[in-house]
């Protein structure tokens, strides 16, 4: 893929990632390391809870969403980091066997006050295998501008 810079992105432009199926082992491993709540790592407790089985941490959904988009290569050459993740919404739980895909929309692209940088604001929508939106978030990425 050709390297993209701030100037190459247009408001309203959308991108789709590849898909990824989440296993029980994936959910348990993430929960063990980062979010050890019983709804994520204890099947017996989770069966009596709100979702009737273990579900992934919302933070795992966010991490997978970013991973899927980053692996498209669209911002690989220009991304310098992100100072925030805004407006995170968990609309449906991520369950064992769900297949995720991410659609990312450019909602703002503007130069930064710092030379050679810009701000690329992207809205992430994470969908399951039936197209239902499971999560959404807005990330303002700091990106490189096209070299002079």
Q: With beta carbons less than 8 A apart as the criterion, state whether 58 and 90 touch.
A: yes
Hey, which bits of the chain come out as E strands?
14-21, 79-81, 86-90, 99-111, 117-127, 133-144
Cα(119)–Cα(140) distance, integer angstroms: 6
Q: Does residue 93 sit within a domain?
A: yes
Q: Does residue 35 sit within a domain?
A: no
Q: Does residue 120 sit within a domain?
A: yes
The confidence score (pLDDT) of residue 1 equals 62
pLDDT mean by block of 10 residues, the chain; 148 residues: 89 98 98 96 93 97 97 95 96 98 98 95 98 98 93
Distance of CA 25 to the CA centre of its chain: 20
Q: With beta carbons less than 8 A apart as the criterion, state whether 21 and 31 touch.
A: no
| CATH number reported for the structural domain that contains residue 84 in this entry | 3.10.129.10
In sign, the C-alpha dihedral spanning 72, 74, 80, 84 is negative
- pTM given for the model: 0.93
Q: Does residue 73 sit within a domain?
A: yes
Domain count for the chain, please give it.
1
Q: With beta carbons less than 8 A apart as the criterion, state whether 33 and 26 touch.
A: no
Q: Which residues pair with 143 in a beta bridge?
A: 79, 118
Domain that holds residue 77: 6-22+57-144
Residue 50 zone, left/alpha/beta (φ > 0; ψ -120 to 50; rest): alpha
Q: Does residue 105 sit within a domain?
A: yes
């Amino acid at each position: 893929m050709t390297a993209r810079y701030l100037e190459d992105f247009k408001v309203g432009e959308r991108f789709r990632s590849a898909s990824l199926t989440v296993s029980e082992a994936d959910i348990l491993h993430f929960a063990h390391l980062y979010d050890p709540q019983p709804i994520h790592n204890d099947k017996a407790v989770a069966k009596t809870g709100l979702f009737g089985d273990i579900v992934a941490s919302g933070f795992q959904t966010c991490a997978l969403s970013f991973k899927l988009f980053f692996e498209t290569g669209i911002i690989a050459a220009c991304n310098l980091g992100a100072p925030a993740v805004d407006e995170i919404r968990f609309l449906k739980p991520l369950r064992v066997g769900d297949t995720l895909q991410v659609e990312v929309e450019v909602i703002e692209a503007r130069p930064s006050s710092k030379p050679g940088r810009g701000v690329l604001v992207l809205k992430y929508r994470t969908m399951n295998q039936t197209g239902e939106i499971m999560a959404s978030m807005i990330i303002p990425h700091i990106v490189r501008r096209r070299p002079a």
